[in-house]
Structure 1
Amino acid sequence: MRAINPWINFNGNAEEAFTFYQSVFGGEFTKVIRFKDLSSAEFPVADNDANKLMYIGLPIGNNNVLISNDVPEFMGRVNESENRSKIYVVTESREEADKIFNGLSTGGDVEGPIGDSPWGTYAGMFRDKYGIEWIVEFDPGVNG
């Protein structure tokens, strides 16, 4: 298996969220497709969904891509308070873990502050300001 890439659904603020994620991880978006880009007679797009994102990709590391889209209104809203799957980020150093944890948790709710864990890693958990749950971890036994 080459990679497992998380895909997150948003209620119209995927672009805002991914601009924020880009400010933490860096990099350039691989592809940005809006619903209006696909509008046709066979696939008409409502005006209120035209500028929403059908696809956005942000490379993270060498083989991973964080992917997202906005859910069109006709499909209903995503429950942003539900317990979504967590995105697990494995870092190459404590410093990188701190940078990512502190950046992404800004404005969110920290569930477990970053620090030394009972199982010998350096880890923390939080829900970012967009409702996405993250685990950031550095394992000195693997990388140290």
Structure 2
Amino acid sequence: MQDGCWPFHLFGANFATEAEAQKFVFEHWEPEPPEGASEAEYDVWEERNPTWRLAEDLGFYMDSDFVELAGTPEDVIAQIRSQSERALIVSKAGEFTHFIIVGSNAIWGDRRSTSSQVEPLVRSPQSTGTISYLGMFNSI
């Protein structure tokens, strides 16, 4: 990554507002239980937090530190090395209100796996009902 271009998966999406996009892309936490909460109440809170719709939608275990919501197509293009990959984003710019950048190192496990062991990732991200997978960028 000496040129500053990191490998990432890119998704396009259409959200009505920036707040709606952020609610989908980033993990969210409910307020912690009050100080006097029982251990059982705290355990229930931990079990349901955080919620992260992007990770749930994709079906992967992910590291939120390597996920970005791009402000504009130009923000995405600035992070791409290849001219042909840049051209792809230019051609798709009008189709989506938002672009989601997921670092290749952000995805570390498959929620769909039936194994109880952490396994190497064997499936690639794909489009869902909410987001469109545009591919892997800067992979070389």
If the length of structure 1 is used for normalisation, what is the TM-score?
A: 0.29
More strand, by proportion: 1
